[in-house]
Amino acid sequence: MPISGRYASEGQYSLWGALAVVNWVNDHGGIDCGGKKVKVKLLYRDSESKLDLAQSITEALVTQDKVNFLLSPYGSDLALGVSPIAEKYGVLMAVVGASSDRIFQQGFKYVIGVAAPASQYMVPVLDMAVKTDPTVKTVAILYRDSEFNRQVAEGAKAYAEKLGLQVVAYEVYPSSPTDLTPQILKVKQANPDIIIVASHFADGQLAVQQLAAQKVNAKLIALSVAPLVPDFYKALGTLAECIVGPSHWEPGVKYTPDLAKQKGVEWFGPTKEEFITYFRQVAKQMGGQEVDPGYHAAWAAEGVLAILYGVQKAGTVDSDKVLAALRSADFMTFFSEFKLNSTTNINVAHSMVVIQWQGGNRVVVWPSAVAEAKLFYPSLTWDQKAAGQLCK
Amino acid sequence: MDVIPYFLSGLILGSIYGLTTLGLSLIFGVLRVVNVAHGSFVMLGAYAAYFAFILWAWPPFATALLAFAIGALLGYLVYIGVIKPLNKAGELNVLVALFALGALIAEIARLLWGPDFVGYRWNIGSVEVAGLQIDISKLAGAVLALAIALSLDLLLRRTYFGRSIRAVVQDPVGAMVVGINVDRVFAASAAIGIAITTVGGVFLTLFIPVGINPYMGGPYTLIGFVIAVLGGLGSLLGAYTAGLLLGVIESLGFYAFSVAGFAEPSEMALFLEFALLLLVLLFKPTGLFKL
């Protein structure tokens, strides 16, 4: 896991999420493996957000530490880079914190995805848009030049066209941009109903700031990744109002043992409340302060849970048997339901939720079954937001 | 008339590019040292702008003075602690040491301030020129950057201190013979060079007030090298002008390539920048603006 370097923050949260679940499992007697209760041990090393280091660590974990299973490092580039190693040694690896579709297009048998891939990110956002307002016609898409963001943008474009929307601008920008004015001027000329920015953290915040500066208004503005961080609102203030974004998981999401019972699937692992409690403990131990988990943490936890569920079903730590068990599994955790598609090796039961910044809070607005609040639509204009109006 | 907004936004961005490169160019010109830790000092300037704004509500231009002082002190320490002791061991040793220093500063920043992106918002209004909304803060930043570049150039041309720097650049041994304290010139150049880099970091936050992070420096080291080489390493006005040029190429190039129907115009603009760099290296390796 990258605990320092450019993915430090996300890597740290992912690690804590995985540890939280391992602690929960061990506090509950361990995992049932072939009739015997065994404790789970999580080994981790800091890959410093560097691919070569991530690769040598993965190699060492498999050959020297003899681990039974792997959790991928955070970041699509790193996860993609270590996948061949998992495949080479036939060690089952759950991909967490990485959603590039390319990871799963390599035909690797032992590499499984527990959450929706990048190309699906904007699907719920577009669904929400056309269901809320059937008159929307045009979409502009801006994306950062990176593996992950390109997939998000391509997926968004394909799905928008499938819904009959017209993509009026489709622009890439450099991965560490200082100024997006040229791209934003182009979006302004296209005057779209919906603006989608396939962004990461800093560039997403920059995009919002410059859309505001150039007063490019739209009925709906959606960004990937950036709006999910609390700092998004801290940095942008009321400009962040009304912005929506897809998320893998939010503390407001309601997957419960009762829901599992209703749907007739098995429940596995901690409840959401238990996970949050355990996560806070780990965060306090390792980071010095109690913080709440975000989607990175929950995603990593889901990776651990998926493997452990497979172990329990298969009654062994043999990767082939665990994989076979997972392929026929259908269960629910606090993160999502889990059903592994045996061709894509991705959990197809996971769907993303959409959040919106309303009155300084990040609330789940879609799908309506798990939503905390109604979508504020159409978005306020930048002038209204700058004047302090809130989307609630 | 669609071109004008692109040209203007490129020019404003270019002015900041130029400013952040001045220090890199000065240090190379005088000390013959490639400051690969450049980006980390840009980052420190950006954090200074952030903290001064959040804690004391200082506008970035006031912070620039503080950043200059901090940068000068750090630059002096870098000279005394790293460059001077290692210079005799060869350029490569200094290069590696500076690389390590850059990584060390970034990691210390992460320990102190955490790995998350932080930012602030300083809005003092905007003006509309040819359909482009220009933030007054950016405009003022661009003008101030020009002023700093010109005064630094003036310092080099018109003062005794500046003349001693130029003497050392031309011939360190000769300068020593005529009684110039070369060591002091080196120390002062490192101090001024890093001070200006740090100020550049402060100004940069006028553009990216939300992307402040311990690892933000990397791309600016890269772009700094391109600009410094284009302008002629060691030439201050050259660096500034090349900064302007790069900003305009980035913005106008995007416009031109997108009008011409290229699929990824901003990538093409980037390609154009590096193609220009290659041509300059091939045909005028001393840089575009160095006579």
Measure CB to CB from residue A205 to each of B210, B250, B266 and give the nearest one: B210
Question: Is B226 touching A (CB cutoff 8 A)?
Answer: no
Q: Is B187 left (phi over 0), alpha (psi -120 to 50) or beta?
A: alpha
Predicted confidence band of residue A81 (pLDDT cuts 50, 70, 90): very high
Q: Is the ipTM of this complex over 0.90?
A: no
**Percentage of chain A surpassing pLDDT 90?**
71
Give the helix/strand (H/E) hosting A8.
helix A8-27
Question: Is B5 touching A (CB cutoff 8 A)?
Answer: yes
Give just the sign of the alpha carbon dihedral A240, A194, A228, B138: negative
Cα atoms in the Cβ-side hemisphere of radius 13 Å centred on B56: 10
Name the CATH superfamily, with its identifier, for domain A120-248+353-386.
Response regulator (3.40.50.2300)
Question: Is B241 touching A (CB cutoff 8 A)?
Answer: no
Q: Kindly list the distances between the CA atom of residue A306 and the CA atoms of A15, A69, A143, A325, A350, in Å, as whole numbers in the listed order.
A: 16, 11, 32, 10, 12
Residues A262-278 have a mean pLDDT of: 94
**Domain topology for B3-283:** ABC transporter involved in vitamin B12 uptake, BtuC (1.10.3470)
- Residue B261: per-residue pLDDT: 78
Interface test with A, best of B9, B210, B215 (most A CBs within 10 A): B210
Question: Is B115 touching A (CB cutoff 8 A)?
Answer: yes
**B266 and A173 in contact by Cβ < 8 A?**
yes
Closest by CA position to A362, among listed A249, A272, A227, A255: A227
Looking at the complex, report in whole angstroms how far the Cα of residue A276 sits from the nearest Cα belonging to chain B: 21
**B266 and A182 in contact by Cβ < 8 A?**
yes
Question: Is B193 touching A (CB cutoff 8 A)?
Answer: no
CATH 3.40.50.2300 range(s) for chain A read 8-117+251-338, 120-248+353-386
**B211 and A145 in contact by Cβ < 8 A?**
no
Looking at the complex, report in whole angstroms how far the Cα of residue A206 sits from the nearest Cα belonging to chain B: 6
pLDDT tens digits along B182-214:
999 999 999 999 999 999 999 999 887 777 888
Closest-CA residue in chain B for A180? B251
pLDDT tens digits along B14-27:
999 999 999 999 99
pTM value is 0.79
Question: Is B120 touching A (CB cutoff 8 A)?
Answer: yes
Residues A300-310 have a mean pLDDT of: 96
**A235 and B135 in contact by Cβ < 8 A?**
no
Closest-CA residue in chain B for A213? B133
pLDDT tens digits along B137-187:
889 999 999 999 999 989 888 899 889 988 888 888 898 899 899 999 999
Measure CB to CB from residue B121 to each of A9, A173, A235 and give the nearest one: A235
Give the helix/strand (H/E) hosting A143.
strand A138-144
Interface test with A, best of B117, B121, B138 (most A CBs within 10 A): B117
Closest-CA residue in chain A for B106? A5
Name the CATH superfamily, with its identifier, for domain A8-117+251-338.
Response regulator (3.40.50.2300)
- Residue B290: per-residue pLDDT: 62
**B251 and A176 in contact by Cβ < 8 A?**
no
Closest by CA position to B217, among listed B143, B141, B123, B110: B110
Residues of A in contact with B16 (CB under 8 A): 178
Looking at the complex, report in whole angstroms how far the Cα of residue A185 sits from the nearest Cα belonging to chain B: 8
- Residue B213: per-residue pLDDT: 85
Residues of B in contact with A229 (CB under 8 A): 116-117
- Residue A10: per-residue pLDDT: 84
Q: Chain-centre distance of CA A374, in angstroms?
A: 22
Q: List chain B domain ranges.
A: 3-283
